[in-house]
């Protein structure tokens, strides 16, 4: 096990220049971190394939285990991207991670990911696949570069609040319902 003393989030908060209104990381730092995380996510694809090959080599004849496996992290955010003393970025906290077969998605009732970072389709359908990790990385990169989350996102209850607001507006005024539905599409 390797010790990584910082997360990208902690670096963003600690390294803000004096008098800065927003805590940001320098663009080259963010680009380097994103590059490393993308390599890590790619490794998870290959690790899943190696896992499938290892199971196959052990003589497992189960059709399900002979498929291509990919690992999806399901909670990529700057708090889960750690940095060691050499400046290497490591992905941590695989508590919500899943093995996906044959590039399929997983659909279950389990809450996967942090709302402020999750792809919109995950919030709506609860379907998760590996591309959702890349979307979450994009939100994290935006936050590291600008010092804030994209407009309309908060770390607490973004989707729940948005849905409640939409339902309240549609309940209060049925005239707005059709206009709102057109905008949402």
- Give the residue numbers spanning the domain of 183: 155-185
Count of all residues that appear for the chain in the document: 185
Instruction: Specify the pLDDT at position 158.
Output: 55
Tokens of 105: 């998605």
The whole-angstrom separation of Cα 28 and Cα 9 is 16
Q: Report pLDDT digits (tens) over 108-137.
A: 666 677 888 888 877 777 777 788 899 999
Q: Which residue is it, tokens 């997983």?
A: 106
Residues 77 and 105 in one domain: yes
Starting at the earlier edge strand, list the strands of the sheet with 6-7. 6-7, 81-83, 89-91
pLDDT tops 80 at residue 31: yes
Cα(35)–Cα(16) distance, integer angstroms = 22
Average pLDDT, the chain: 75
The residues carrying an active-site annotation are 75
The set of residues, in sequence order, having a beta carbon less than 8 Å from that of 80 and lying 6+ positions away, is: 7, 73, 91, 92, 93
Task: Write the pLDDT tens digit of every residue in 59-79.
Answer: 654 545 445 677 888 899 999
CA distance 29 to 51: 32
**49: burial class by Cβ within 10 Å (0-12, 13-18, 19+)?**
middle
- DSSP letter at 89? E
| Backbone Cα Rg of the chain | 20
Q: Do 142 and 160 sit in the same domain of this protein?
A: no
35 and 118 inside one domain: yes
Domain total for the chain? 2
One domain for residues 109 and 184: no
Residue 179 lies in a domain: yes
Residues 33 and 109 in one domain: yes
Q: Are residues 54 and 131 in the same domain?
A: yes
Answer whether residue 119 is part of any domain: yes
- C-alpha span between 82 and 49 (Å, rounded): 25
The answer, yes or no, to whether residue 42 has pLDDT greater than 80, is yes
Distances 109 to 62, 100, 116, 127 between C-alpha atoms, Å: 26, 16, 18, 9
| CA–CA separation, 167 and 6 (whole Å) | 40
Helix (H) or strand (E) holding 128: strand 127-128
């Amino acid at each position: 096990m390797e010790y990584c003393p910082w997360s990208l989030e902690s670096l963003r908060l600690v390294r803000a220049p004096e008098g800065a209104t927003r805590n940001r990381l320098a663009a080259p730092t963010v680009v380097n971190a994103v590059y490393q995380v993308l390599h890590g996510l790619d490794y998870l694809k290959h690790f899943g394939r190696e896992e499938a090959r290892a199971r196959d080599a052990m003589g497992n004849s189960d059709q399900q285990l002979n498929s291509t496996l990919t690992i999806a992290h399901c909670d990529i955010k700057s708090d889960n991207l750690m940095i060691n003393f050499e400046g290497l970025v490591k992905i941590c906290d695989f508590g919500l991670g899943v093995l996906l077969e044959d590039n399929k998605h997983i659909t279950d009732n389990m809450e996967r990911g942090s709302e402020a970072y999750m792809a919109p389709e995950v919030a709506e359908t609860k379907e998760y696949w590996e591309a959702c990790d890349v979307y979450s990385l994009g939100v994290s990169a935006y936050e590291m570069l600008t010092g804030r989350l994209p407009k309309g996102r908060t770390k607490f209850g973004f989707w729940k609040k948005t849905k409640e607001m939409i339902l309240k507006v549609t309940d209060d005024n049925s005239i707005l319902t059709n206009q709102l539905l057109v905008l949402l599409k």
